Amino acid sequence: MRLKGRTIVVAGIANKRSICWQVAQDIVMEGGEVISLCHPRMEASVTKLTAECNMRPPIVCDALADDDISIASAIGKIANSGTTVHGFVH
């Protein structure tokens, strides 16, 4: 349980074959908490995956958008939750 009490943001989960999905599962197995960010097209599949592992629902964020509103909104949601973030994986 080396990550107990730690919260890691994981971006890039698309499906069960994603490297980021394996990383997220490993974080949980080591006692950490995962906040996932996903593209709007991946919301349904990532929501299903995170629910299977008792993770928080993903925060939808389009990093490819021409403006930074989506990214700023995602960061704002994390900041407003009062959660301390200990790491970021993409």
Residues 83 and 76: their CA atoms lie apart, in Å, by 11
The whole-number average pLDDT for the span 7-15 is 92
Residues 38 and 62: their CA atoms lie apart, in Å, by 7
Asked if 42 and 67 count as a contact pair (C-beta separation under 8 A), the reply is no
Residues 12 and 46: their CA atoms lie apart, in Å, by 10
Given this model, what pLDDT does residue 74 score?
Answer: 82
Q: What is the reported pTM?
A: 0.86
Interior angle at CA 31, CA 5 and CA 49, nearest 5? 115
58-72 pLDDT, tens digit each = 998 887 776 656 777
